Structure 1
Amino acid sequence: MLTFEPRIISAEREFQSWLLKINNIDNIINGSDTFKDYKYYLKNLIDNGKHMPSKNEIKLLGKMKITGSMAFENLHRITISNVKVEITLQEKNELLPFQAIQSLSSNSDLEIRKKAFKSKLNSYNKISETSMWAYNSIKGEQITEAELKGYNSVFHMAVNSYNLKEETITTMFKVIKKYLYNIQKGISHKAKLLGYDSPLPFYDLFAPLCKTKKNYTFGETKSIILDNLKDLGDNLNSVATKVFIENWIDSEPRANKRGGGFSVNLHGIKESRILFNFEGTARR
């Protein structure tokens, strides 16, 4: 993907330049049932045309991203996945992957949550400078790109790249501000349920409220999923069964594995690959 991206960007720019030369493009699109299906995409390319640099500049920008922001993003992910966090559990000193520590934030044991939180904070010192250089380099490139494309700021470039309107973002923040008090009330109520007279400590933000300490094996979780999918039809159940049988899932938290979770569609073979970190809890 890294090898082909500059060529893809360059080809899209060529197509965009060609579109901008067509004077009656609206009539052509509206007069064709085929083109109507792609009207949004085509109009978006045309509207963004004024923010596209020259052919050589866009090609150079695409190539620079490989050793610029994309490289720093990968460096940041790899750095975090390689972090080993020191923690004492059951009177035993352990070195656990960062993602394994993350999963302890929802543990039912208060002392474990505290230890996990403090251990995680201490581990940040190991990667603080690397993260700083990565973030600064990524944002520095974005500032340069925004200037090159004629945007007022990185914010305006981002809004445009996601096909949003500035008023949409403004409205979203107004709604957040309007209902922020309700969120704060919910967190304060959780603090009371957990027995605090003071504000809720951050290490208890994800603390479970139920008393159960039930943990699930991966096999048990698989059975629960497949049994419940039966009610939704044979087709969905058979696909899910295939996912487990053919091992499309990478679920084990381990060293050198990045956090988060995502699914990648492999259209050529009509399959998917799923990555996440299984914790054995009802949460995930």
Structure 2
Amino acid sequence: AWTKLHEMLTSTLLVDITIDGEHKQLPLPVVRNMANEKDPQLRKTAYEAELAAYKKIDEAAAASLNGIKGEVITVAKLRGYESPLDKTLQDSRMDRETLEAMLQAMRESLPSFHQYFRTKAKLLGHKSAQLPFYDLFAPVGEADMRFSYEESRDFIVKHFGSFSEKLANYAARAYDNQWIDAEIREGKRGGAFCYNLHIVGESRIMSNYTGSYSDVSTMAHELGHGYHGECLVNEAFLNSEYPMPIAETASILCETIIANAALEQATSEEAFAILENDISGASQVIVDIYSRYLFETAVFERRTEGALSVSTLNELMLQAQKDSYGDG
């Protein structure tokens, strides 16, 4: 129920924003996607409008998070786990030593990502050595690669076929049978995800497609999740579940197929944009995910003492981001 409430709040949140002197109320995903726009002022305006909009729902969002984490703490304790992390590790079929090795590798890589952020700040013309948060996803270079929805289908199906005919056929079926909800509209949550319906041997994909190369890469990623489900169609229902460490394998493979294909036919400017997009994506997987790990660890520690206020949650998140993003 708390999760449903949070999804409802974020999917129906309208953001007040002024663009070219005109005041508008736009769905949150529309404003979030402006982070990929070429216009630097639009990126900054959208970022500030997004943060301001969250104040409309912050108390309810905090209540949702407190409810969810409180339940996890209670259930984990009743079932004999030492901590929620131990339960997560068991659910993921992963031992703590493996997790610690991965986290250590992430920590060791942070200086390289900090250097990347500073370099991107310089390329974008910032006087400060640090990259502003609103320019994390800013396109770099002169290339402006755009794909219509139909072009994304043809590009993905063609190049999936260079790896596997079965993979290409799955992607074509997903597009042609309208298993993909790609349009941005009011009342729809942001981001993208895939849900495999094992009982009928199909999948459904949600995205917020605007035509950028990043959106094509995201679509390939989600189709990879769907293909994972396709490979499990003939398995028993109890064998259709898989843990997170396995879940991202097919999706990242599909992203890589598309990136390699795009590079083969790209101009030097386009290749620069594609490679920078890849590094940007890696920074999210490493730097941002590490900040979320730090945040969630802190939330679980503090939540055992009682519910956390909006200001406390904000402070914990900001500290986690400072620890992860460093001087980048």
Compute the TM-score of the two structures, normalised by the length of structure 2: 0.61
Decide whether aligned partners of structure 1 residues 227 and 134 sit closer, same or farther in structure 2, where only a CA change above 3 A counts: same
**More displaced, 180-189 or 229-238?**
229-238
Letter in 1 for 2:134: Y
1:216 is the counterpart of 2:147? yes
Q: Report the alpha carbon displacement of residue 164 of structure 1 after superposing the two structures with TM.
A: 1.8
Which residue matches 1:128? 58
Which residue matches 1:57? none
Which residue matches 1:85? 15
List per-residue Cα deviations over 1:138-197 (Å, max 9, x = no partner). 111111112211222222222222222122222222212212111111111111111223
* Contact residue 108 and residue 211 of structure 1 kept, 8 A: no
Q: Which has the larger radius of gyration?
A: 1
In 1, Cα distance between equivalents of 2:114 and 2:171: 39
Alignment length, in residue pairs?
A: 214
Which residue matches 1:154? 84
Which residue matches 2:68? 138
* Higher RCO structure (Cα 8 Å, ≥6 apart): 2
Decide whether aligned partners of structure 1 residues 255 and 132 sit closer, same or farther in structure 2, where only a CA change above 3 A counts: same
1:186 is the counterpart of 2:116? yes
Which residue matches 1:9? none
Decide whether aligned partners of structure 1 residues 145 and 235 sit closer, same or farther in structure 2, where only a CA change above 3 A counts: closer
Compute the TM-score of the two structures, normalised by the length of structure 1: 0.70
From 240, 260, 264, the equivalent of 2:195 is: 264
Q: Report the alpha carbon displacement of residue 223 of structure 1 after superposing the two structures with TM.
A: 2.7
In 1, Cα distance between equivalents of 2:41 and 2:97: 45
In 2, Cα distance between equivalents of 1:244 and 1:110: 33
Q: Report the alpha carbon displacement of residue 235 of structure 1 after superposing the two structures with TM.
A: 4.2
In 2, Cα distance between equivalents of 1:219 and 1:104: 22
List per-residue Cα deviations over 1:196-239 (Å, max 9, x = no partner). 23111110111111223343321222232234345446544443
Which residue matches 1:169? 99
Letter in 1 for 2:189: R
Unmatched tracts of structure 1, length 5 or more? 1-70
From 157, 169, 174, the equivalent of 1:243 is: 174
List per-residue Cα deviations over 1:15-65 (Å, max 9, x = no partner). xxxxxxxxxxxxxxxxxxxxxxxxxxxxxxxxxxxxxxxxxxxxxxxxxxx
In 1, Cα distance between equivalents of 2:93 and 2:61: 29
List per-residue Cα deviations over 1:80-125 (Å, max 9, x = no partner). 0010001122332211111111111111110110011000010010
Unmatched tracts of structure 2, length 5 or more? 216-328
In 1, Cα distance between equivalents of 2:48 and 2:183: 24
Aligned residue for 1:241, secondary structure, equals helix
